[in-house]
Structure 1
Amino acid sequence: MDKDGGKPKTFVSTFCLALQPQTRSVRVEKQKENEPDATKRTCMRNNTLGVSSATATKEILRRNNHELHTEVTVKASPKNTQISSTSKERCQHSEEKDNVSTADSDIDLLTPVSSCKGPPVEFVDPPEQVEVRVGKQARLHCEFRSSSVPVACCWIYNKTKVVVGGPRMSVRSSETQSDVEISQARPEDTGSYTVVVRNVKGSAQHTVSLGVIDQPAPPASQPVISQLSTESVVLSWTGPSYDGGTAVLGYKVEVRQEEQDGPESWTEAASRCKNTTFHVRSGLEPLGRYRFRVRAYNSAGVSDPSKESECVEMVTKKEEKQEASESFITVTIDTKHEAKDHYDVHEKLGAGKFGQVFRMSHKDTGQEAAGKFYRARSAKERTAARREIELMNKLHHPKLVQCLAAYETSSEMVMVMEYIAGGELFERIVGEDFEHTEPTSARYMQQILEGMQYVHKQNIVHLDLKPENIVCVDTTGTRVKIIDFGLASELEEGKPLLVMHGTPEFVAPEVIGFEPVGLESDVWSIGVICFILLSGESPFQGNNDAETLALVTTAQFEFDEESFEDISDEAKDFISSLLKKDRRCRLSCAEALAHPWMASFSVMERRPTKSLKKGKMKRFLAKRKWKKTGKAVLALQRMANLSYRPDSPGSSSEESGWSQEAEEAIQSLDEQLHSEPRFQQALKDASLPKGATLRLTCLVSGSYPQPEVKWLQDEKPVSASGRVTTEQREDGLCSLVVADLQPSDSGVYACRASNALGEGMCSAKLKVEL
């Protein structure tokens, strides 16, 4: 027993020194280090040329009483450099006695004598995302460390389809890496590719997102002209229906002067427009006649041009457009006409679960509008459309989008809304020529609160407040309006409202918990919008919807020191007062308008203010664009199925949701591991004196199931006895130890390993010298 009362530590360390044959003496010393688990052995050797030594230090690192790693270091003295390397002798040492010899020193020095408790498979710096241009070769490469061999791998596309080789695709795997190569990549190759790696001890998986990018599609609509003057005009358009697989970075605006004679000649009016609106201030002449078109661009290239705008003639004198007082209309659904009887329908502006939105213009007045065409095939869908129209008749306020008309026929239902050309507020803020400060942010929040205060006075809850639904009235001013009341509901006393819809980043905790919602649920969303407006970061954004919902449920957030370094404490307190988990503790809209931060923004405006950084806001918008599809509003039934749990070690993908085909492929990996025994390290011949101890070691790896090992001497089984012991470890290291060697022990020793798939054998010759 050792001094700590544990099991005795026994091991054999072998050092090979190249010495001259005239050996005088060998002395082995053991030196204790300061560390209790470190030992040092020194082998000293002298001959006619002098004295030399080699020292080996063995360090045993322990965790939970398990040996994790053994390191053996051999150091030779400078005098050794004069000794011939053609003559080698072995110097042996054991804690029990000094005459133990080892026939295979390489195994002891190179193979760890303790088992590793790490993960069965560990990925080495795997890629998270790969982008490739259309038509180019895509390569998904994952390297990994496996605690044992054999190793089996498979790739699964979007958790449903097993990736196999084909005309354009190849899959190659080894014991340390796996690759998928796709030649002539296509947009349909975009998706998530998960590699599953398995050995006999377990498995791990990692997901790589492949984006096959191309230039974007042209902007979906022709430029719409507004705010016409003598030498300037404002253009608005709709972004492309397909971004090319990567975020649209901006737009190029082109103009052509209308000429009766001569070829068309397009020139660039703006080369790096970041928004879907642009104010053309130069290059236009009074009474000139012009057409405009727009191109979108991303990191892959520039799109084809949009459709041309209608020809516009500049006015003769600049007219100051005075803002007219708001006039509100109470809409009655017209069941005798179709929307097309009164309006011309132009390009599509957007689509959603409800139906589609198109830009429209009144045939008599030319007034622009947005027509919401409902998908109203069933009685339930028609009832929901009528309910929204009735609700909009109760929301007459300058900060809210207004309903102008409504139509219902046997084939369709249409609600005509005012057309707001200023674009989304957040898109406007990141513009190069737009000032973004804390006071301007307070003014936007004031307008949002004023609008929602009016909505709440009507006992209506919006339930889908988010940046996309806060839009600017025009491209030059700072007035905003709240849009999209498609999910709004009217609260009824004594009748709790439970909803199953919302946007994960902005939805309140009570919605996720399927608890009754109230006016305070909108206040939570306003708090999230304010947080992003000031910092460019989302307080509860996770890596996926499930993680985001988990963060919202805890209602815990932090004011990042870097993101909020220029933000006042009053603003932070304002946000904290809105983002309370208990909805009864949140401020109402009226209370928020009276908050010290909101009340002091006019005072702040008179003192110097610092412009807020826009970099994080731009990244936030880029992520939103990437995620913007028809699933912008997620059903909570889907949310309920997403339970957040950390990834398993060595895995960065979800562990559920595999298709049957994928499950079968993963299960088949176990069958692929089956293989016959292989010797990674073989036995070596030895010549030892009588009375010494022989230790033969070999390494059997890459075999599954676990092989049965037998030792033979001259083709006869070796039986265990007082002198002979054998050992077979889980890591494949096999050893035969024969003590007190006798001449009869000479012969050929073989190690035979066999399982159901076959067998392997290695052998070595032993000579016992008298």
Structure 2
Amino acid sequence: MDTVSTPEPQSDLLQKSVDNREKERKAVTPKRRVYCSSSPLVEFLNPLEKVQVRVGENAQLHCSFRSLGRTAFCWIHNRKKLVVDGERTHIESSSNSSILTISEVFAADAGSYSLFVRNQRGTAQHTIILNIRDRPERPASCPFVSQLTPSSLVLSWCGPSYDGGSAVTNYVVEIQSLGPSDTRDWTELTSTCKDTTYRVCSGLHPQGEYRFRVRACNDMGISDPSEESDCIKMDTAGRENLSFVDVVIDTTHKVKDHYNIHEKLGVGKFGQVFRLTHKETGRVCAGKFYRAIVSKDKEAARKEIELMKQLHHPKLVQCLGAYDIRSEITMIMEYVAGGELFERIVDEHFEHTEPNSMQYMRQILEGIQYIHRKSIVHLDLKPENIVCVNSVGTLIKIIDFGLARKLEPGKPLMVMHGTPEFVAPEVIHFEPVDLAADMWSIGVICYILLSGESPFQGSSDSETLALVTAASWEFNSEFDDITDEAKDFICKLLKKEKRARMSCEQALAHAWMASSSSSRRVTKSLNKDKMRRFLVRQKWQKTGNAVLALKRMAHLSHRSDGSESPSMSMSEQAVASLEQQLRSQPSFPQTFHDLTEPCGATVYMACVIQGYPNPEVVWLLDDEPLEETERLQIQYKEDGLCTLTLAQVQPEDSGIYKCCASNYLGQALCSARLTVAR
């Protein structure tokens, strides 16, 4: 029996034809834009690095650039999106430049201003440092008194939270005499004090009463005076540091009798620290509750309290009281609310530079110099024991004197405790230690502060200790942009032979410390990524909880797939939004036209394509996709120019040529007729 085929309906044949054509079209490899690897993403033209103005003047930050195609850009101030109010802050922009004008600048306007430029290839940025020059703010604390004798004393204070945009060059120390016949006028003791300590050794009467204050100076002028010190009575010599609390140990009450106990602030080898508030005054303090069960632990706790009672310096956490009863020993300390210094530094809103790092090292040295002059060695200097006074300034304090010891003549001190990465070689060798052990630790802290990595970190504690004992270290790549003075400072501290290390006095007199007052050059921000990883590792080692550490690492850095962390900052969101601004469906600002060419000629058709994401391109002849051959070449360049070149044209090449550009937002088409004359 013959099989009779039934003709397919015309509509089905048409649909098959369309389907086949679509299959053929899909089989064609779309043309993608080709970028020149040697051309920069965005070229900034003669960019400004620094703008310096006085308070009240107008600041203009101009940035020109060269970029292919459409661009989107935004300004970020100190890692925060710049708020443009149109009154005091104004931006004028074109396709290749942006001018930011700030009228009547304040001190708060100072900092880094980054212009982020986004084009189809990616994002580039240029940062301009705006330096607002003004008088310094007044010193952050009143002068504190120590080493009081009937005819002399030592003053110490905290420098200003903001130096006015120019380094503090000196301090003016003023005195007020409070005797019955005195005028109570303030007179100048000195105007050439270079540090935040000053010994007054003349002009003081043994029966006199005095107050002191200080002013900070830079090349723009002199600050307002600090707060006044307490009244100092010279005839009370022997009761040292009268401007600090004279601690009396309470042996009859419990802490709970006077304080409310709140959240835990930290846990150490010798006890736990809680936040406290005084029931009557409401004053916030910190309470260190010792694990003092056996007599040996109780004796260690009492030694720390006795030692802390002697330490009165603005760079050291202060002891405010103590409770010692049979079941509990507690030390009351001032509450330092700013958190660990390194945690502050890695915050995205915090500018981390070499000059800032030098100022932190100066403060550490000032505090350690004070205890060294009392023959006390800290023995546990490490980043977590350097904390910020508050959450906004740059003042620090040294905490945790649980391992500190007082050196006694003729009695060698040998210890076997500390944190492996920070202990000096003589501690590991169980040799006599002295003040130089702290200087080694200061060198390690400085190395990490500038590079984010530990110079002696090994894969295990034993490997770390081996590196320390060998004093085996070198500068990593992060030090390529660090000054020679800073590297020399570290080299003179990380000496295996302890007698070769700098003392605090020598370190404070080092050229790196002096560079702040003589150098005006702006250094770039230091990379924080390695310090973030360092902090993660420290927390991991401290808690032993790898899961928490991994979660923290995921929060601190970008995810491995290149997408942003879920908790993006406002500045990150602003930069990410630039990509959104660029998005557009394809269009043809320039198209090709109908052509009539003779046989054998070479035909050239060109159009310009815009759109983001970059459109993919397919060329068609009479709706049939075209593939490249030796005779037919297609180019799609980085400036959006797309060309079709057809050599040795023949009559059969005649027809309608179309260029189809598409991205996920849409599709555009341009076409022209080619007629090949016989």
Question: What TM-score does the superposition give when structure 1 sets the normalisation length?
Answer: 0.45
Matching residue within 468, 474, 491 for 1:558 = 474
Structure 2 CA distance, aligned partners of 1:281 and 1:751? 89
Contact 1:200 1:704 in 2 (8 A): yes
Structure 1 CA distance, aligned partners of 2:580 and 2:61? 25
**Which residue in the other structure is 1:529 paired with?**
439
Structure 2 CA distance, aligned partners of 1:208 and 1:638? 37
Contact 1:223 1:294 in 2 (8 A): no
Matching residue within 475, 498, 509 for 2:421 = 509
Q: How does 1:132-281 map to 2 (within 5 A)?
A: 149-154=69-74, 162-163=81-82, 165-166=84-85, 168-169=88-89, 176=96, 183=103, 197-203=117-123, 215-222=136-143, 224=145, 233-240=152-159, 242-243=161-162, 248-255=168-175, 266-280=186-200
Cα offset for 1:616? 0.9
**Which residue in the other structure is 2:647 paired with?**
739
Structure 1 CA distance, aligned partners of 2:174 and 2:62? 42
Matching residue within 199, 210, 216 for 1:296 = 216
Structure 1 CA distance, aligned partners of 2:580 and 2:398? 58
Matching residue within 623, 634, 637 for 1:727 = 634
2:542 paired with 1:637: no
- Read off the aligned partner of 1:296 and give its amino acid letter: A
- Read off the aligned partner of 1:736 and give its amino acid letter: L
**Which residue in the other structure is 2:286 paired with?**
375
- Read off the aligned partner of 2:642 and give its amino acid letter: C
Question: Structure 2 vs 1, CA of residues 672 and 186 (structure 1 numbering), >3 Å: closer, same or farther?
Answer: same
Cα offset for 1:156? 5.9
Question: Structure 2 vs 1, CA of residues 706 and 525 (structure 1 numbering), >3 Å: closer, same or farther?
Answer: farther
Structure 1 CA distance, aligned partners of 2:311 and 2:509? 34
Cα offset for 1:312? 7.2
Structure 1 CA distance, aligned partners of 2:509 and 2:154? 27
Structure 2 CA distance, aligned partners of 1:463 and 1:256? 38
Structure 2 CA distance, aligned partners of 1:293 and 1:449? 25
**Which residue in the other structure is 1:393 paired with?**
302
Structure 2 CA distance, aligned partners of 1:763 and 1:260? 104
Deviations along 1:200-231, whole A, 9 cap, x unmatched? 4444567778777763134422464865677x
Structure 1 CA distance, aligned partners of 2:566 and 2:59? 26
Gaps of at least 5 residues in structure 1 are 1-112, 324-329, 342-352, 357-371, 418-423, 431-440, 456-460, 470-481, 491-498, 512-516, 579-591, 602-609, 649-653
Deviations along 1:544-568, whole A, 9 cap, x unmatched? 6xx235875586633899669999x
Cα offset for 1:267? 4.3
- Read off the aligned partner of 2:197 and give its amino acid letter: T
Matching residue within 534, 540, 545 for 2:447 = 540
Matching residue within 611, 615, 618 for 2:511 = 615
Question: Structure 2 vs 1, CA of residues 300 and 611 (structure 1 numbering), >3 Å: closer, same or farther?
Answer: closer
Cα offset for 1:273? 1.5
**Which residue in the other structure is 2:21 paired with?**
none
Cα offset for 1:739? 3.5
Deviations along 1:460-512, whole A, 9 cap, x unmatched? x645599989xxxxxxxxxxxx985445499xxxxxxxx9xx9xxxx64389x
- Read off the aligned partner of 1:272 and give its amino acid letter: T
Question: Structure 2 vs 1, CA of residues 127 and 402 (structure 1 numbering), >3 Å: closer, same or farther?
Answer: same
- Read off the aligned partner of 1:637 and give its amino acid letter: K
Question: Structure 2 vs 1, CA of residues 178 and 765 (structure 1 numbering), >3 Å: closer, same or farther?
Answer: farther
Structure 2 CA distance, aligned partners of 1:488 and 1:526? 15
Cα offset for 1:523? 7.9
Contact 1:219 1:241 in 2 (8 A): yes
Question: Structure 2 vs 1, CA of residues 151 and 333 (structure 1 numbering), >3 Å: closer, same or farther?
Answer: same
Cα offset for 1:149? 3.2
Deviations along 1:441-460, whole A, 9 cap, x unmatched? 9xx999799855xx9xxxxx
Cα offset for 1:251? 1.6
Deviations along 1:496-535, whole A, 9 cap, x unmatched? xxx9xx9xxxx64389xxxxx98989989956724868xx
- Read off the aligned partner of 2:453 and give its amino acid letter: T
Cα offset for 1:236? 0.6
Gaps of at least 5 residues in structure 2 are 1-32, 241-246, 259-272, 277-282, 313-318, 335-359, 388-396, 406-416, 459-463, 527-531, 542-548
Contact 1:399 1:451 in 2 (8 A): no
**Which residue in the other structure is 1:24 paired with?**
none
Cα offset for 1:144? 6.0
- Read off the aligned partner of 2:473 and give its amino acid letter: F
Question: Structure 2 vs 1, CA of residues 647 and 751 (structure 1 numbering), >3 Å: closer, same or farther?
Answer: same
**Which residue in the other structure is 1:363 paired with?**
none
Q: How does 1:406-421 map to 2 (within 5 A)?
A: 406-408=321-323
Structure 2 CA distance, aligned partners of 1:525 and 1:680? 74
Question: Structure 2 vs 1, CA of residues 354 and 765 (structure 1 numbering), >3 Å: closer, same or farther?
Answer: same
Structure 2 CA distance, aligned partners of 1:216 and 1:733? 57
Contact 1:462 1:489 in 2 (8 A): yes
Q: How many residues align?
A: 506
**Which residue in the other structure is 2:609 paired with?**
700
Contact 1:566 1:612 in 2 (8 A): no
Question: Structure 2 vs 1, CA of residues 245 and 122 (structure 1 numbering), >3 Å: closer, same or farther?
Answer: farther
Deviations along 1:591-627, whole A, 9 cap, x unmatched? x6xx7x69xx9xxxxxxxx99972213458999xx99
Cα offset for 1:275? 1.9
Q: How does 1:1-150 map to 2 (within 5 A)?
A: 115-117=35-37, 121=41, 124=44, 149-150=69-70
Structure 2 CA distance, aligned partners of 1:307 and 1:314? 20
Structure 1 CA distance, aligned partners of 2:631 and 2:440? 78
Contact 1:374 1:413 in 2 (8 A): no
Highest Rg: 1 or 2?
A: 1
- Read off the aligned partner of 1:541 and give its amino acid letter: I
